[in-house]
Amino acid sequence: MKPATRMFIKQRFTDYYQKARISPPASVKEREFGFIFFDDNYPEDIRMRRHMGFFSAEELQEYIKSLVPAHSYYSTAYYQTPQAPTMGDKDWLGADLIFDLDADHIVRGSYDEMLMRIKGETEKLLDVLDNELGIDMRTVRLVFSGGRGYHIHVQELEFRDFGSAERREIVDYLCGSGISPSLLLDEWTPGHSGWHERYRILLVDYLFNLSKKTEKEIKIELSSLRGVGQVMADRFCTMIPDLISSLEKSPSSILHRDQTVKTVLNALVTEKDSPFLPMIKECSVQIDEPVTTDTHRLIRLPGSLHAKSGFKVVPLTLKEFEDFDPLIDAVAFGEREVMVESGKDYSFSLLGSRYNIKKGSVKVPEAVAVYLCARGMAEIGGEPGGVS
């Protein structure tokens, strides 16, 4: 990034923070804060200034307004002394339960396609939290990250003391890790929700698709699983139609067939090359697992700006989330024209319009210029400051 481009983005951020009101997290005095600044090496060499604490929302607001960070974060944890220079000296008091959903971990494509996909994944997670884990949804806070996803904060007090091990169990449930076919099928009852029913449906679909293959293809696929030899694959192949019927009527009954069924089902969920695992992953909630298990995590500050997009980090109610469009509602800047230099052609949506940017010098609305420059798609051009 050229110095003029970095200065342009910082100037726009300065304008934003002069007017914006940052919503501090609950218990601001017990939170650690961290910031990345527009120094001379940004963004090639990014260093965070952390282990900071503030006594009030006003103090935090003034700090951000004065120093204009590129990125702003706060701890999901509560500390007795958040500004202490080492984690051991902070005196951990607990932490919110956090889920991070990032489209980059799930799908590749255009920015608007990624945002659409991650919104669907977020809806899936909210449904599981509400209807399967029994979370009090009044304690749930939803935040658009300003980048490619959403953060879900569960502030229910019962979770605050959970350590990494307890949080890992929640992650495993959401991700479908450690599935036990025997347990899920044996405990299945009509009307059962959650993984019991998801697994049953997935298994029916898998066996149905398997049955459409040739006998030779089925045997090759099954015998590639550890512990499943040629003889066992042959036997299982003949059982598929009957197993599908049983799964639709009495799932637990298939466990009483013989060792062949148990061995194949276990191999399908434990072998890393199993053709069944992608089906489980697609049906699971694809969260960023380390974020949830980390009880000292720093996460983006609502109301701040994300310097890799120029978008706002937007706090949302569950109702607001339904109609939220980041490409409109998270845009922080206006429409005055700015000259940029684009290295190649681009096409994308922003502020409800489609922009087709050609390689070379082009005048665009300020919001588009910040977006292009922040994402490394263009440099500021024209006269000093880039404003025509």
Q: Is 379 helix (H, G, I), strand (E, B) or coil?
A: strand
Let me know if 102 is a catalytic residue: yes
The catalytically annotated residue of 100, 112, 186, 242 is 100
- CB 84, CB 33: distance < 8 Å: no
- Rounded distance between C-alpha atoms, residue 262 and residue 300, angstroms: 46
- Rounded distance between C-alpha atoms, residue 208 and residue 384, angstroms: 65
Give CA separation, 300 vs 11, 121, 144, in Å: 21, 20, 9
Helix (H) or strand (E) holding 184: helix 181-186
Longest dimension (CA), the chain: 78
Let me know if 325 is a catalytic residue: no
- Rounded distance between C-alpha atoms, residue 291 and residue 293, angstroms: 6
The catalytically annotated residue of 130, 288, 325, 329 is 288
**Across-strand partners of 151?**
100, 143
- Rounded distance between C-alpha atoms, residue 340 and residue 375, angstroms: 13
Contacts of 378 (CB under 8 A, 6+ apart): 340, 341, 342, 343, 357, 369, 372
**DSSP conformational letter for 303:** T
Q: In what order do the strands lie in the sheet with 71-75?
A: 48-52, 33-36, 71-75, 298-300
The verdict on whether omega for the bond into residue 43 sits within 30 degrees of 0, i.e. cis, is: yes
- CB 51, CB 81: distance < 8 Å: no
Let me know if 89 is a catalytic residue: no
Contacts of 195 (CB under 8 A, 6+ apart): 173, 176, 179, 184
- Which residues belong to the active site? 100, 102, 288
